[in-house]
Amino acid sequence: MPKVRFVVASLAVAGALSLGGLVWSLVSHADEPELNLYTSRHYQTDEALYERFTELTGIRINRLEGKGDQLIERIRSEDMNSPADILITVDAGRLWRAEQAGLFQPVESAVLEERVPAHLRHPDRLWFGFSTRARLIFYNKQEIAPGAVTTYEELADPRWQGRVCIRSSANIYNQSLLGAMIAADGEAEAESWAQGVVNNFARHPTGGDTDQIRSVAAGECGLAVANSYYFARLLKSEKADDQAVVARVGVVFPNQDGRGAHVNVSGAGVLKHAPHPEAAVKFLEYLVSAEAQHHFADGNNEYPAVNGVTANSVLEELGSFKADPLNVSVLGETQAQAQRIFDRVGWE
């Protein structure tokens, strides 16, 4: 059940109410400036980020946590009565879904335009990326030589038949990756690639990104695809089994001689019916401050979106890389095409 912390200012006393399987915390703070977040980020380290914003601005943050698609549907159903000021979610594909539902309003902010690179924000300023993650290839060091695979495209090579592990096509990370390949190579080539990967499956797609990395270390597969911050967590871990995984797995930043590694974002936008739009813009501007950017890197091993802000030591240990400069908003635009391709090639 999603954690919920939300404030209803019209109530004079504290209480609790259960609605649709969610538990709302109800407290009266009618005289305090506030900001209402709907967020699909479930990282405990973000707590410090919210507390620091309140400390700097005096604006209290109330939030409702849930899955991204669940929150999008909730905002749609609430319509003009929605108390939410900001939607925060992971992956440009979900930001696109919210955009298509007409949930965002454009934001005028010199700070955001200056600090967020153009390819990490919506062209019409409907939402802004504030952290990034790269989709990397991992290989078993005992079975595959360094440099044997350097591109996403090579995962479809028949020589890797029965050796590739990757998540389900229902996973939005994979939908966005295929969307980027559609943008780069066209639908026909992207479908050929997807069919080749299916032909090379080591097993039926199952589990999350960390499971794919562990499967490589265990020898269940020779190659896998996962987001950078999952591997960074293993690198930082003090557990012996996690360090054993790290020792057995090599890392590839794909397509460095071409378009660059696929990257995606965590991002946020101000909602169309936001009751506190000025506070909402202040919050977005805080997210791209150097302080907040370091927090994303140190707290959840995400790459800062703002140029010139250094990543944490674990991410730097992985090395610098060339990122695909494709505007991430395209990843939503190609999402329907990507899903049709997955369905046609039998990528479940």
Structure tokens at 51: 């507390």
Q: Give residue 121's identity as a one-letter amino acid code.
A: R
- The pLDDT score that the predictor gives to residue 297 is 87
- Cα 68 to Cα 171: distance, rounded to the nearest angstrom: 12
Report which residue type is found at 241: D
SS3 at position 55: helix
Q: What is the pLDDT of residue 32?
A: 76
pLDDT at position 19 over 90: no
The mean pLDDT value of the chain amounts to: 90
* Rounded mean pLDDT, 20-49: 69
Residue 303, classed as helix, strand or coil, is strand
SS3 86: strand
Between the alpha carbon of residue 151 and those of residues 175, 180, 254, 339, the distances in Å are 17, 13, 5, 22
pLDDT at 31: 62
List, for residues 235-260, the tens digit of each pLDDT value: 999 999 999 999 999 999 999 999 99
What confidence tens digit (pLDDT) does each residue in 106-163 have? 999 999 999 999 999 999 999 999 999 999 999 999 999 999 999 999 999 999 999 9
Q: What per-residue confidence (pLDDT) applies to 299?
A: 85
Residue 23 has pLDDT above 60, yes or no: no
- The residue assigned the tokens 């939030």 is 63
Query: Would you give the DSSP letter of residue 302?
Result: P
The CATH superfamily assigned to 36-131+267-314 is Periplasmic binding protein-like II (3.40.190.10)
Q: Residue 15 pLDDT more than 80?
A: no
Kindly state the percentage of the chain with pLDDT values over 90: 85
Which CATH fold would you assign to the domain 133-261+323-345? D-Maltodextrin-Binding Protein; domain 2 (3.40.190)
Query: Which residues touch 70 (CB under 8 Å, ≥6 apart)?
Result: 2
Q: What is the pLDDT of residues 68-104, one digit of tens each?
A: 999 999 999 999 999 999 999 999 999 999 999 999 9
* pLDDT tens, residue by residue, 308-346: 998 889 999 899 999 999 999 999 999 999 999 999 999
pLDDT more than 70, % of the chain: 91
Q: Exposed, middle or buried, 102 (CB in 10 Å: 0-12/13-18/19+)?
A: exposed
- Rounded distance between C-alpha atoms, residue 332 and residue 342, angstroms: 15
What pLDDT score was predicted for residue 116? 98
Residue type, 192: S
Fold identical between 36-131+267-314 and 133-261+323-345? yes
By C-alpha distance, which of 155, 160, 165, 157 is closest to 203?
A: 165
Neighbour-count burial of 35, counting CB atoms closer than 10 A to its CB (0-12 exposed, 13-18 middle, 19+ buried): buried
- Residue-level pLDDT at 311: 85
Tell me the domain boundaries of the chain.
Answer: 1-31, 36-131+267-314, 133-261+323-345
Give the Cα separation of 158 and 193 in Å (integer).
Answer: 11
What pLDDT band is residue 210 in, cutting at 50, 70 and 90? very high
